[in-house]
Amino acid sequence: MATITLVTGGNRGIGLAACEGLAKLGMHVLMGSRDLAKGETAASALRQRGLEVEAIQVDVTDAESIEQARQTIQNQHGRLDVLVNNAAILIDETSNIMRLPIEIMRETMEANFYGPLMLCQAFLPMMQQQRYGRVVNVSSQAGQLSTMGNYAPAYSISKTALNALTVMFAAAMHGGDIKINAMCPGWVRTDMGGRNASRSPEEGADTIVWLATLPKDGPTGGFFRDRKPVAW
Ligand SMILES: NC(=O)c1ccc[n+]([C@@H]2O[C@H](COP(=O)([O-])OP(=O)(O)OC[C@H]3O[C@@H](n4cnc5c(N)ncnc54)[C@H](OP(=O)(O)O)[C@@H]3O)[C@@H](O)[C@H]2O)c1
């Protein structure tokens, strides 16, 4: 029985590399994409290389879209084993906290925080029922309080909140083999990271793949970069 995996924002960037890396391990990957046509194109390219990847419409800012995806996955697969909360936006790189428009903060929180919150609430009950699950929250060094400055305040705060959500959901799991962790992919060459970034999308996705396949005695409620714990 193949592991059923959902990656949000899977149609490009680190999410796409995560879909490929996880499918290469034999998982059945559901490539979440807010624009289904983009997802179909990206998924079909991976299928042509022999990987089991199918596109599914998920806009992480839309509760109805998440509920629709939950029902589709329940009906077609009966379960979800791995959830990668990867989709995010960075729209305030040139801003600073003194003049951050509130609507930018709200829009960022919708995608980067409320999205993962709703997805965890939708899929963790399924994981609890089967007493198995792996959730990977794709966070960022920008969200680390220990090194935080004044860079991209909405984005950074949304990732700090995502880290808190990771700790809370991990603490809410009692019994079963369910692990919920956050990770930082490093600075990655994607539309978000830009072409001068130091890492390839595959390198950025490595810790996602590792956390998605943790053994039963692996960590939960932690924050990782390069497969190692980092400070919050
Ligand atoms: N790149 C870096 O250097 C870096 C560093 C630290 C952390 N990260 C984190 O790594 C993750 C992936 O980043 P990336 O560099 O691959 O970003 P990216 O190239 O900008 O790709 C973002 C992905 O998220 C999707 N997305 C955005 N809003 C969405 C929504 N409302 N619903 C569903 N999907 C949505 C996009 O879909 P569309 O194609 O439809 O726009 C796209 O697939 C993010 O969580 C990011 O914060 C990246």
Q: Whose Cα sits closest to atom 42 in ligand 1?
A: 9
User: Ligand 1: which atom is nearest the Cα of residue 61?
Assistant: 31
Q: Is the pLDDT of residue 74 over 90?
A: yes
Percent of the chain at pLDDT > 90 equals 99
Q: State which amino acid sits at residue 72.
A: T
CATH code: domain of residue 126? 3.40.50.720
Which domain does 66 fall in, by range? 4-229
Number of compact structural domains in the chain: 1
Q: Is the pLDDT of residue 1 over 90?
A: no
Q: What's the whole-number mean pLDDT along residues 185-190? A: 98
**What confidence tens digit (pLDDT) does each residue in 32-52 have?**
999 999 999 999 999 999 999
Q: Is the pLDDT of residue 85 over 90?
A: yes
CA geometry: angle 100, 104, 106, nearest 5 deg? 115
Q: What's the whole-number mean pLDDT along residues 165-194? A: 97
- Pocket mutation for ligand 1, best pick of 192, 195, 225 (most atoms within 8 Å of C-beta): 192
- Note the Cα 123 to chain centre separation in Å: 13
Q: What is the CA radius of gyration of the chain?
A: 16
Q: Is the pLDDT of residue 24 over 90?
A: yes
Q: What's the whole-number mean pLDDT along residues 19-40? A: 98
Q: What's the whole-number mean pLDDT along residues 152-166? A: 98
Query: Beta-strand (E) ranges in the chain?
Result: 4-7, 28-33, 53-57, 82-85, 132-138, 177-183, 223-225, 228-229
- Note the Cα 128 to chain centre separation in Å: 19
Q: What's the whole-number mean pLDDT along residues 61-89? A: 98
> What is the pLDDT confidence band of residue 222, given thresholds at 50, 70 and 90?
very high
**What confidence tens digit (pLDDT) does each residue in 90-128 have?**
999 999 999 999 999 999 999 999 999 999 999 999 999
38 touches ligand 1 (CB under 6 Å): yes
Separation of alpha carbons 228 and 108, rounded Å:
27
Q: What is the mean pLDDT of the chain?
A: 98
Tell me, yes or no, if 114 is annotated catalytic.
no
